[in-house]
Structure 1
Amino acid sequence: MARNHIQVKPEKFPWLDLNRYTFSMGVEHKGVAYISGQTGSAYDAESRSVLCKGDIVEQTKIAWEKIGVILQAAGMAYTDIVRTVDYVVPRGFPLYSKTGDVRRQFLGKSPVASTGVLVHSLLRPDALIEIQAIAVKGGKEVVIPAGPEYERFKDLTYAPAVKAGGKLFFSGVVELEPTTAENQAKACYTRIDKTLQAAGASYTNVVHIVDYVAPMTVEHYEAMAAVRQAHFGDSRPSVNAAVFHGILNPRGHLEVDVIASLTGKREEILVPGWEQSYQKLRSVPAVRMGNLVYFSSQASIDHTTGKTVVANYDLGAQARQAYQNLRQVCSAAGVSMDDIAYTLELVPPTVMGDVRVLGQVRREYFGASFPAATGLIIHQNMRTNTIFSVAAVALA
């Protein structure tokens, strides 16, 4: 087993009973740590239940305190954080800009890559924000391309990208002009080009793309995916694409996250019989580079036919098919489910009341050795007849 589960002492984590969950607070391997999404949840003695109290600023502070305890248990510190993702619910958005001051309190001037995106809701219905983080030991370097349009990053709490441990982590890339989805995608990839070049990298280093798609853009996604493929040429990345509640700026059609590896041989992982399905998706099931394996999101799809194979709205059955697909890709990549360090599970609002079944499915595929994880309620999956998807990363 490659991964090292970060053991957090209960007395240092007063907010929750950690034994109740089917995910680890964090997983570390060779100086790289994936931290599960953290909210402002805490046990409330008066109501004898776990609650998220206060506004988004107060909840953000608790989430960052939790992240600090987890990092300390891994022998790390806030200064080792290289990337964060803020998942924000609409009712928390009006005060979201004020959370930047909280970030400064905990991160100081330490550079990070960061993405913020709107979700329909979080698994805890009273949570206003969930923060996921990646940390890397050994120092880091900020990457800022030349040009006047990048001057604004001097005053922000994040950088265009951060280089650490032979890996390159981007902040989410979003463009507001021009107004069409396809042209916004072209503008996004122009910025991605500049940041890759500033880091001494190219698309041959990219292992994973996350497409946060706005609801108004779904019908144009194929055109946006074609823009991506034009930049990758003959190579293809692993991709996690889903329809989120929205981009933080309502004029945005798409936000793109990029993760690249600067060391090791890039290997696109293919599964026999799945070629036609992934040709249409303009991606590959996974990309391996060195000890890093990033997986495309999996849903309840039989990739030999491209069809959904389980009944609509049966969350447990769809999750099992998705995890079975993930297991097949692991085998093709030369890793196992024991090497999975982090999963991101996405479901639409129609199944919010059924999400507890996912804990049982995770037990079936991971036993008692769980990876770090984040679960979100989004607008919809890319295929409207699927109600579950899972993306993953392995540290081998």
Structure 2
Amino acid sequence: MALEAIKPADFHWFPYEGFTFCLGLAEGEHAWTSGHTAAKFDPAIGKMRVEGTMQEQARTAYAKVLTIVEGAGLSLSDITHITENVTLSGLPHYAEAAAVRAELFGAHQPTVTTVVVERLVRSTAFLEVELRATKGGGTRLLAASEERAAGTFVPSAIVEGHDGTVHLPTMVPIDAGGDIVAPGDFVGQYRYCLEQADVLLRQVGLSLDNAVTTYDYSTPGSREVYRKTHRVRKELLGNGGVYPGAGGILMSRLHHPEQLVAIDVTASRHPLELVNPGWKRYDTLTYAPGVKAGRTLFMSGFAALDMETQEALHPGDLGAQAEATYGAILHLLRYAGLGPEHLLSTIEFCVERELRNYRAVAPVRERLLTAPWPASTGAICADLLRPEFLLEVFPTALYPAEAA
């Protein structure tokens, strides 16, 4: 069974053919959407436009992604995981989006991940929503608490979805009383987030040994001390024999004004297998280029890096960096026995100063990727851990059922 692009019978917000991403992908009784804002095509100006309050934008964004899920023969009750990318301008109004979500989903409790982003491609967009769905709504492992769970930004359930995948709510350094943990201490906050992730995972019969990715979001000041997280990661991760994939993105601020880091942790029920095509740099790192768990290939974030010399490639040239970045992703896919048609999703982070050139990435994707095109999300960040990098991509791929 192959991945298929979801093509709803009525998707009136914009004509969706001709892009290097799909509205969403489906396989059997499972679906994954791209990230969608409230953007609509305005024929009067011949362009996409986003307008309205946070509440209005949230309603439109959810209407779009739920229409896509319905196009795969699924419904709201089948949603297992929600990712909400909220912009800095939208963050003060985020409670309005949460209220819309609560109204729509009622007693149904997917896992909710909240990523604070510098902005979105559409400058007036406050929110971008991405969904994952499995017939029956997956398996609820931990119900949402009436009180905010320690270490989480929102009170969220934990649900096991497709192929034994378990997403956690975004881990933030805020204790059960709502106070910031380890003020001013980036490494201390990083440790707290991972330790709280382990607490939650152990409540559902897993641990950090089952982690397949840890994507962290920090502030630009963390560059100076980021290397010190190596010791924390070495202590807490990889004790099952395989380190998770990882990525690091910089935003000018996060959920709380005193917060220095947030971490999104994904785990799997399946045994973990390291996937490395021979890149020696990973021998001493606390993350892996790829982790196979069941039928899913989880990957680290990729940027334009020479894997042998560690040099950043093509400084100042976003298009060339995109070529090198996707070239490395495809190299890993080929080593794993896969191709671009097996890409399930790509999440692209472009640095804000290069937004005007972001359109240079689309022709690279058109040349290197292929239909049905991955479900994709693009967001704008303040910067990346290496200041020479202009783009970082978080990819995920799915092995065909017959190859499992």
**Common fold: TM-score over 0.5:** yes
Q: Distance in 1 between matches of 2:105 and 2:143?
A: 22
For the 8 Å contact 1:145–1:194, the answer to whether it is kept is no
Q: 1:219 aligns with which of 215, 221, 224?
A: 224
Q: Distance in 1 between matches of 2:42 and 2:143?
A: 47
Alpha-carbon offset, residue 258 of structure 1: 1.2
The one-letter code matched in structure 2 to 1:240 is G
Kindly report which structure 2 residues correspond to 1:169-184, keeping only aligned pairs within 5 A, or say none: 169-175=167-173, 176-179=180-183, 180-184=185-189
Structure 2 residue aligned with 1:346: 349
Kindly report which structure 2 residues correspond to 1:171-320, keeping only aligned pairs within 5 A, or say none: 171-175=169-173, 176-179=180-183, 180-232=185-237, 233=239, 234-263=241-270, 265-272=271-278, 274-275=279-280, 277-310=281-314, 312-320=315-323
**CA-atom RMSD in angstroms:** 2.2
Structure 1 residue aligned with 2:402: none
Structure 1 residue matching 2:198: 3-state secondary structure: helix
Structure 1 residue aligned with 2:148: 152
The C-alpha deviation readout for 1:318-347, integer Å capped at 9, x for no partner, is 000001100111122222111001001111
The one-letter code matched in structure 1 to 2:374 is P
The one-letter code matched in structure 1 to 2:353 is T
Q: Percent of aligned positions with the same letter in both sequences?
A: 27
Q: 1:134 aligns with which of 128, 132, 135?
A: 132
Structure 2 residue matching 1:271: 3-state secondary structure: coil
Q: Distance in 2 between matches of 1:150 and 1:199?
A: 18
Using the size of structure 1 for normalisation, the TM-score is 0.92
Q: Distance in 1 between matches of 2:107 and 2:127?
A: 22
The C-alpha deviation readout for 1:177-211, integer Å capped at 9, x for no partner, is 12211111221122111111111112332211111
Q: Is the alpha carbon distance of 1:225 and 1:6 closer, same or farther for their aligned partners in structure 2, counting shifts above 3 Å?
A: farther
For the 8 Å contact 1:193–1:202, the answer to whether it is kept is yes
Q: Is the alpha carbon distance of 1:107 and 1:145 closer, same or farther for their aligned partners in structure 2, counting shifts above 3 Å?
A: closer
Using the size of structure 2 for normalisation, the TM-score is 0.90
When structure 1 is superposed on structure 2, of 70-79 and 185-194 the one drifting more is: 185-194
Unaligned runs of 5+ residues in structure 1 are: none
Asked if 1:6 corresponds to 2:6, the answer is yes
Q: Is the alpha carbon distance of 1:36 and 1:225 closer, same or farther for their aligned partners in structure 2, counting shifts above 3 Å?
A: farther
Asked if 1:393 corresponds to 2:393, the answer is no
The C-alpha deviation readout for 1:24-46, integer Å capped at 9, x for no partner, is 01112243322101101112244
The one-letter code matched in structure 1 to 2:260 is H
Q: Is the alpha carbon distance of 1:150 and 1:205 closer, same or farther for their aligned partners in structure 2, counting shifts above 3 Å?
A: farther
The C-alpha deviation readout for 1:234-266, integer Å capped at 9, x for no partner, is 431111211123211122111111111113x31
Structure 1 residue matching 2:48: 3-state secondary structure: strand
Q: Is the alpha carbon distance of 1:158 and 1:145 closer, same or farther for their aligned partners in structure 2, counting shifts above 3 Å?
A: closer
Structure 1 residue aligned with 2:161: 164
Q: Which has the higher strand share?
A: 1
